[in-house]
Amino acid sequence: MTFHAESPATELGPGQRLQPRHPIVPTSSVLQPLGTDDVRISGGFWGDRQQLNRKTTIPHAEEWVERMGWAANFDYAVNGGLPQKRRGREFSDSEVYKLLEGMAWEIGRSADAELDRRFNALARRVALAQESDGYLNTMFGRPGQNPRYSDLEWGHELYCFGHLIQAGVARARNGGDDLLVHTAIAAADHVCREFGDEQDLRTCGHPEIETALVELWRLTAAQRYLDMARMFIERRGRGGLGKIFFGQEYFQDEITVREADTLRGHAVRALYLSSGAVDLAVEDQDAQLLDAVEHQLRNTLARRTYVTGGMGAQHEGESFGADFALPPDRSYSETCAGIAAVQLSQRLLLATGDPLHADTVERVLFNVIAAAVAEDGRSFFYTNTLHQRHRGQVPPADQPSHRAASGMRAPWFDVSCCPTNLTRTLASLGAYIASTDATGLQIHQYVPSTISATTQAGQQIEVVVETEYPFAGGVTCKVVQAPEGPWTLSLRIPQWAAEARLVLPDGSVLNAGPGVLRVPVSPRTGESIELQLPVEPRWTRADPRVDAVRGHVAVERGPLVLALESVDLTYGSADADLREREVSEVVVDARHPLRESDGVVLVPVRYVDHHDSQWPYAGSQGGLPAGQDSESREDDDADPAWIPLIPYYGWGNRGPSTMRVWLPVD
Amino acid sequence: MTFHAESPATELGPGQRLQPRHPIVPTSSVLQPLGTDDVRISGGFWGDRQQLNRKTTIPHAEEWVERMGWAANFDYAVNGGLPQKRRGREFSDSEVYKLLEGMAWEIGRSADAELDRRFNALARRVALAQESDGYLNTMFGRPGQNPRYSDLEWGHELYCFGHLIQAGVARARNGGDDLLVHTAIAAADHVCREFGDEQDLRTCGHPEIETALVELWRLTAAQRYLDMARMFIERRGRGGLGKIFFGQEYFQDEITVREADTLRGHAVRALYLSSGAVDLAVEDQDAQLLDAVEHQLRNTLARRTYVTGGMGAQHEGESFGADFALPPDRSYSETCAGIAAVQLSQRLLLATGDPLHADTVERVLFNVIAAAVAEDGRSFFYTNTLHQRHRGQVPPADQPSHRAASGMRAPWFDVSCCPTNLTRTLASLGAYIASTDATGLQIHQYVPSTISATTQAGQQIEVVVETEYPFAGGVTCKVVQAPEGPWTLSLRIPQWAAEARLVLPDGSVLNAGPGVLRVPVSPRTGESIELQLPVEPRWTRADPRVDAVRGHVAVERGPLVLALESVDLTYGSADADLREREVSEVVVDARHPLRESDGVVLVPVRYVDHHDSQWPYAGSQGGLPAGQDSESREDDDADPAWIPLIPYYGWGNRGPSTMRVWLPVD
């Protein structure tokens, strides 16, 4: 059921439920989404983070869009003062929109009346700035500003509209038929009038509008939005954008979406564009386009992705690099690229049912998105390096930081796409947990929650998931309400889980390997299924073509990538000297296995001493020189030191430190 | 002997020799420079490159500064047409100046009358554009342009003046007292008037003027130039430049020159600034400043330099990265940073006599500067990667390329600092070969040449150097004219030469290790000394903190870093499949030593097969997983393949290829 913007949003009554409360609502797909009211997260790892997002991060972001003047830009647009008083970069409007989207999801989730009041106040300031033809941007079009659409390469106008539309769709799906929804629709209608000529090759330097327009079509059924999205996607790669320093690959305009073989260029741009292309392919039943994008993502996962799931290795251009060029030091792995990878992967999961995509969602959620927010919810990583070589400086609490200025999280950034993007992602996390199809319910992510679904026959399913995942491997699915007759509960066995076990209601046990496990019985009301995932720590090696980590090993535990942080080098030692040690001073002693003690993973290491030489490259004629790691050390036969590793997401919360994910092997 | 600009250059008669034909002429130093007419390169590796520079590269650069419109900008400045008709970036004037400098050195070296005519014609176009107060820049100050000095962070006006002054000094030292010399002096006088207030904190975002002004003082003895250079150097680090995206470290304004511990930020900026600081320290007899800069360079060599001598690892900001963060793939190692490292190192060699600095000059000359020019002299590397992962595309012959767009050399760049910088470096190469002091003659670089020097007592020394270095290790120094009485011939034994031999005139042989070897006899006229350097190939390992090359080995031969290029994978094999092989498909078989056959170094390798997995990181519980390099291969016991390595400088001359310096070890 959709409503039609042709007779705009007036059909939407307050609080009326039209569609799943989900950011992705395909009209048909292999798996159907369950919304954030179908999946109620009740606690645990992600439940805690949703609370922190609500109580701390959203208000923090509200404060900063005021402090930076990015919200006030809308007021100046109404009351005068532009361009002189405008603050922020050309895309700063979008931060307000992403924050509004985050607030909308949170209001839908928690029915927070005070937050709803603040949402309406902020949305009103945005709406008032909209011009009579639907155009809305505080950077362009006024006397003293550049004209509208005069800089499609860098102006981000359509990108901003994309985020406005996504915020409006989120608001509509979370029970509001209010000002922001109408503002978004008016903006989309303006875009369709301005760019809807089939001969027009113009598009935006930053994709984002494409996926937003498909979703607005899904909300409203107004054909022009889908047509406009299709035009934007098909135009790309046809030279509609001017030449830029980084090359046309930067914004994916060097080749068409259908022709590309891999994701490339600016990572967030590539992933947002791909999300829009999947949305379009699903609605057009365009298998060629869907296959093309999925193939590109598969190549990207196989060759251009960090072990954390982080994408976009290069600082310059915030971009994907060459295949297998994945240096852990100074890895870019932008937080927003992680968010975009989750968006794309979830779309492909719904479109194909392939658990690879849920694996990606899990890996990125735990190892990029969880890492990007500080324990206190008030500071953020913009980039997510896998190797911090020097102790960072504590960023100022009252100023925005450079996105990559330090090894510490910062309260805000000059370019601050990531914090607001995190608010909307965390508030809508329920959308990534489970889905339905004709046969039953699929659980993709293991989160303490209550999951409700309705079968095609109109019967109710309700499952309560209890788990301490990712810290423990047990997941209990209590069937509170089962449909009559046969149905299928499907559980994802992650790719890393070589030997999972399933305990059926009758106590019998099945072994299962990675993939989708269809529970071979139809659990009845009151019965429980227990999944046991092997979360013992494991060593991880990279494909040898990732030359940057040759001779290194990582440690993972369940879905978590672990890291060595210098703060932990004093563990179990009274040696005060160790306090000054850095992670560069240990190598893994491979003669010993990993240990785990009280939930803490301990890695066997030896300390090494480094000495500068005038020239750090040593030669030898004749035989190969001794191994690189042959520095003097205390005693080769001594027992190793056992040093705790922490989940990568938690590093940097105990003051400036050095850190590494890939550990050199002795 | 100097001439005084107070009574400007009229004292200089045409062709009059005032100073050594050398870019660095300190009034006093540990070693005194010998100019390009004192050291006449007669052939060999560098002699051939000087010929190519004269016959091809200089005319090529002349053609491109016209094609790009960068020379015509000066004409428009005179005849009207600015700013509308201006072409190029804000620093394009400097390319014309660097080319003029290159032409001046070449005219001094080869007395090429036709080149001198072209020099004068181009210099005249520049000189005519100078305004009456000495200001000269085609980018600023006219109606429709930004005002003079309105963008010191990025405007490059003082940087351009620096190159103009260096060109003028080069012209004066190469026998010309002509228009360009006067233009440079008038520009310098303008700078002193504009910036000479002690209270003024302004300086240029790109250092360069500092070293130029000291050298102009050395030419003219006009005190204001030295004072102005001192002010610019001491101002740096005091916040005189506005905030920029890259952070103030980018242009070395976050801390004073004296306080810094290492080179950091934009590599060329850091190295040019350091050169100026050494010049100033030498003239002010400021040991603290000299020690500070030398300490910074030593730290940089020990922790922030590639095995090629390349500096500046990061593409973003063209900058030094963290200590030991030296990824070989996508290493930036800008050609101009190599040139600047040679300039700085030669200054420190003259100032201290430490052969470390001559080692650096040699390493950078052979492995960065020689690499930057194609065999045909018509295309260039802007960046010098140590690992090319994919075959590049042939850049267009008639368009400028992006600086890092391809793994192939390009005929020109949008930002084209490197080609013109190469012309001046190659034309003035004689300046880096030898020096004198009170005791005799020092030979730093081994080049077929005739070296003339005059002792402090006015006696002549002339030595003819015969060598096939770097391909052979023998260097014969024939003393054509010896002074009466005792004198010392000093020879540098490179740091890599563990066991050099010296054959004295009486046939006796000395062994010598790295450092300065003072020949223990005073060779008489007609006698020869023969140095034998061990140029057998050798394996090289990196300090273990260079994590990016853990488990890899490089191969060097004499001063040359070698490389594996995919073109050579077919060597000695009829297997056509090998033609499609890439350098990622071999690992060094460490059970065998290097071989050398007919001057070709052969490395023992095994071919490995790679297969993509859905996810390129494999885990194992329990013991450490098998080594990364355990891919299936033909037969572990089989003999290795012996694949030729080439000198790194020569890669990329046989069409698109993959290449690597650091080879994974089996």
CB of A620 within 8 Å of any CB in chain B?
Answer: yes
Q: At B648, is the pLDDT very low, low, confident or very high (cuts 50, 70, 90)?
A: very high
Single-letter residue type at B619: G
pLDDT value of residue A545: 96
- Contact in structure between B475 and B531 (CB atoms under 8 Å): yes
Q: Which residues contact A149 (CB under 8 A, 6 or more apart)?
A: A140, A155, A157, A194, A202
Give the pLDDT of residue B623: 66
Report the pLDDT value the prediction gives residue A68, as an integer from 0 to 100. 97
Bridging pattern class, strands A474-481 and A434-437 = unpaired
The arithmetic mean of pLDDT across residues B119-132, rounded, is: 98
Question: What pLDDT, on a 0 to 100 scale, did the predictor assign at position B630?
Answer: 44
Q: What is the pLDDT of residues A433-481, one digit of tens each?
A: 999 999 899 999 999 999 999 977 788 999 999 999 999 999 999 999 9
B418: closest CA among B384, B389, B393? Answer: B384
Mean pLDDT of B2-11: 37
Distance CA A225, CA A213 (A): 5
- B619 and A551 within 8 Å at the Cβ level: the answer is no
- pTM for this structure? 0.94
Residues from chain B that touch A494, judged by Cβ atoms under 8 A, are: none
pLDDT at B578 over 70: no
Q: What is the mean pLDDT of residues A600-617?
A: 94
Instruction: Decide if A316 touches B, using CB distance below 8 A.
Output: yes
Q: How confident is the model at residue A14 (pLDDT cuts 50, 70, 90)?
A: very low
With 90 as the cut, is the pLDDT of residue B185 above it? yes
Sheet of A488-493: strand order equals A32-33, A434-437, A440-443, A488-493, A515-518
| CA separation for the pair B340, B346 (Å, rounded) | 10
pLDDT of residue B577: 63
Tokens found for residue B666: 């089996």
With contacts defined as CB-CB under 8 Å, which chain A residues touch B612? 302-303
Number of neighbouring beta carbons within 10 Å of residue B271: 27
A10 pLDDT more than 60: no
Phi and psi dihedrals of B607, rounded to 5? -85, 140
* pLDDT tens column, B22-77: 999 999 999 999 999 999 999 999 999 999 999 999 999 999 999 999 999 999 99
- Which of A16-25, A169-178, A521-530, B434-443 is least confident? A16-25
Contact flag B616-A552 (C-beta cutoff 8 Å): no
* SS3 assignment, position B320: coil
For chain B, list the domains and their CATH numbers: 9-432 (1.50.10.20), 441-532 (2.60.40), 540-664 (no CATH)
Question: Which B positions 482-521 lie with beta carbon below 8 A of chain A?
Answer: 495-496, 498
Average pLDDT, chain B: 93
Among A243, A601, A621, A666, most B C-beta atoms within 10 A, so best to mutate, is A621
Is residue A628 very low, low, confident or very high in pLDDT (cuts 50, 70, 90)?
very low
Chain A positions in Cβ-Cβ contact with residue B389 (cut-off 8 Å):
322-325
Establish if B390 touches chain A: CB-CB under 8 angstroms: yes
| Smallest Cα distance from A100 to chain B, Å | 28
Instruction: Using CB atoms, pick whichever of A307, A543, A614 lies closest to residue B356.
Output: A614
For residue B621, the chain A residues in CB contact (below 8 A) are: 498, 534, 536-539
Express as a percent the part of chain A with pLDDT over 90. Answer: 87
Quick: pLDDT tens for B453-484.
997 778 899 999 999 999 999 999 999 999 99
Using 50, 70 and 90 to split pLDDT, how confident is the model at A591? Answer: confident
| DSSP per-residue letters across B80-143 | S-TTTT--S-TTHHHHHHHHHHHHHHHHHHH--HHHHHHHHHHHHHHHHT--TTS---SSSSST
B653 CB within 8 Å of a chain A CB: no
SS3 A572: coil
CB within 8 Å: B540 and A614: no
ipTM, two decimals: 0.92
| End-to-end alpha carbon distance in chain B | 61
Distance CA B477, CA B591 (A): 40
Residue B619's SS3 state is strand
Question: What are the tens digits of pLDDT across the range B258-304?
Answer: 999 999 999 999 999 999 999 999 999 999 999 999 999 999 999 99
| Interchain pair B327, A328: CB under 8 A | no
Min Cα–Cα distance to chain B from A103, Å: 30
* Full DSSP string of A386-410: SEE-S--PPPPSSSPBPTTS-SS-B
Task: Name the band, by pLDDT with cuts 50, 70 and 90, for residue A558.
Answer: very high
B134 to chain A, minimum CA–CA distance in Å? 33
Spatial CB neighbours of A285, under 8 Å, sequence gap ≥ 6: none
Please give the average per-residue pLDDT across B446-452, as a whole number.
98
Which residues, in sequence order, are bridge partners of residue B537?
B557
Which of these, A2, A26, A23, A19, lies nearest to A220 by C-alpha position? A2
B615 and A301 in contact by Cβ < 8 A?
yes
Question: What are the φ and ψ backbone dihedral angles of B396, each rounded to 5 degrees?
Answer: -60, 140
Name the helix (H) or strand (E) containing A184. helix A179-195
Tokens for B526, please give them.
């007609």
- Would you call B553 an interface residue with chain A, using a CB distance cutoff of 8 Å? yes
pLDDT of B7 above 50: no
Which member of A389, A539, A665 has the closest CB to residue B619?
A539
| Whether pLDDT at A5 is above 60 | no
pLDDT in tens, B503-538: 999 999 999 999 999 999 999 999 999 999 999 999
β-bridge pairing B659-660 and B387-388 = antiparallel
Do the chains contact at A550 and B551, CB–CB below 8 Å?
Answer: yes
Report the C-alpha gap between B346 and B442 in whole angstroms.
13
CB of A603 closer than 8 Å to CB of A643: yes
User: What gap in Å lies between CA A49 and CA A635, rounded to an integer?
Assistant: 45
- Please check the confidence at residue B396 and state whether its pLDDT lies above 70: yes
**pLDDT of the residue at A25:** 96
**Is residue B10 pLDDT above 50, yes or no?**
no
Overall average pLDDT of the A416-431 stretch: 97
Query: Chain B contact for A650, CB < 8 A?
Result: no
Q: Is B535 on the interface with A (CB under 8 A)?
A: no
The pLDDT tens digits for A503-548 are 999 999 999 999 999 999 999 999 999 999 999 999 999 999 999 9
At residue B638, the pLDDT reads 77
Distance (Å, whole) CA B349 – CA A46: 61
Helix (H, G, I), strand (E, B) or coil at B566: helix
Residue A623 confidence (pLDDT): 66
Inter-residue contact B632 to B609 (CB < 8 Å): yes
| Chain B residue nearest residue A588, CA to CA | B624
The confidence band for A13, taking pLDDT boundaries of 50, 70 and 90, is very low
Q: Give B203→chain A minimum CA distance, Å.
A: 24
Q: What's the mean pLDDT when you consider all of chain A? A: 93
Q: Could you write out the DSSP letters of every residue in A63-101?
A: HHHHHTTTTHHHHHHHHS-TTTT--S-TTHHHHHHHHHH
Rounded Cα distance between A234 and A277, Å, is 9
CB contact under 8 A, A610 and B544: yes
Q: Which residues of A245-281 are buried (b: 16+ CB within 10 A; e: fewer)?
A: ebbbbbbbbbeebbebebbbbbbbbbbbbbbbbbbbb
- At residue B18, the pLDDT reads 58
**Does residue B629 surpass a pLDDT of 60?**
no
